[in-house]
Amino acid sequence: MNSQLRREYLDALGLKTWTLRTAHGTADAPSLVMASRATSAAPAPSAPASALAAAVPAPARDVSAMREAGLDWDELRARVAACTRCSLSATRTQTVFGVGNPHADWLIVGEAPGAEEDRRGEPFVGRAGQLLNSMLHAIGLAREQVYIANVLKCRPPGNRDPNLTEAAECLPYLERQIALLKPKIMLAVGRIAAQNLLRTDKTLGALRQQVHRFGLSDVPLVVTYHPAYLLRTPTEKRKAWDDLKFARDVASRV
Ligand code: SF4
């Protein structure tokens, strides 16, 4: 991507001042990752994803994760489409499986589908999706180069936070997607996604700028803000930019 085009993408993000600098003060290329839904923005009390570990004993989680073992992409997609494991199956328009390159190095994971995603069957569409695309472009990645999924495959009514049962029932699908994808890095986008993936109740601020590891696959995982939150709180874009650079550096070392 030429510098003019990248500058245009950064301008679209309102990131004119977001310029990576080397020790010599010269511009450098940025880096990044992402995950799904129009998340609840600011740290509001959420489904204590953290409590997932306590609510679902480890042996039960292991058994649950094995339910999808051996499924290929098509089989997994069909199983998700027919899923009735939690009550969200009664209110969804359709499941939102995930989208992107099945050989991607980057896996972006959000919380759950919002209204537009539920209607279209694709994660990260609408304004938040456009911002995500711009962020990806800013670091030289096209949407088609990454894989984008959510912790939940069905929309919680009213965009409420996922509850513990929903997250516990749905996470095995994402775990199977990760097993098939074998990404080099995961980017958890937003507090709810991060807390569910890492089984913690720590704040997003406490989880940023660290390399976490996801599950048995031990994939490096970096946490950042959800683009929907950044749309509402543009003053946090600089922190998100720092997270993207951090994630890119992590991926370059894998
Ligand atoms: S949210 Fe997940 S577990 Fe619940 S019905 Fe949808 S696909 Fe199944």
Per-residue pLDDT tens digits for 192-238? 999 999 999 999 999 999 999 998 889 999 999 999 999 999 999 99
**Ligand 1: which residues within 6 Å by Cβ?**
80, 83-86, 88-89, 95, 152-154, 166, 169-170
Cα of 159 from ligand 1 centre, angstroms: 15
Specify the residue with its C-alpha closest to ligand 1, atom 6: 154
* Beta bridge mates, 109: 149, 188
Backbone torsions φ then ψ of 100, nearest 5 degrees: 135, -165
- Residue 227, classed as helix, strand or coil, is helix
Cα of 214 from ligand 1 centre, angstroms: 21
Specify the residue with its C-alpha closest to ligand 1, atom 3: 170
Q: Which helix (H) or strand (E) holds 212?
A: strand 212-214
Q: State the CB neighbour count (10 A cutoff) for residue 143.
A: 19
CB-count burial class (<10 Å; 0-12, 13-18, 19+) for 97: buried
- 80: pLDDT strictly greater than 80: yes
Ligand 1 pocket check: which of 85, 92, 161 to mutate, most ligand atoms within 8 Å of Cβ? 85
pLDDT at site 36: 38
| Mean pLDDT along residues 140-169 | 94
DSSP 8-class letter at 162:
P
For residue 169, which atom of ligand 1 is closest to its CA? 3
pLDDT at site 193: 96
Report d(CA 71, CA 51) in Å as an integer: 28
Distance from the Cα of residue 10 to its chain's centroid:
21
For residue 202, what are its two tokens? 């720590």
Report d(CA 111, CA 233) in Å as an integer: 18
- 113: pLDDT strictly greater than 60: yes
Cα of 155 from ligand 1 centre, angstroms: 9
Residues sharing a CB contact under 8 Å with residue 25, sequence separation 6 or more, in sequence order:
none
- 129: pLDDT strictly greater than 80: yes
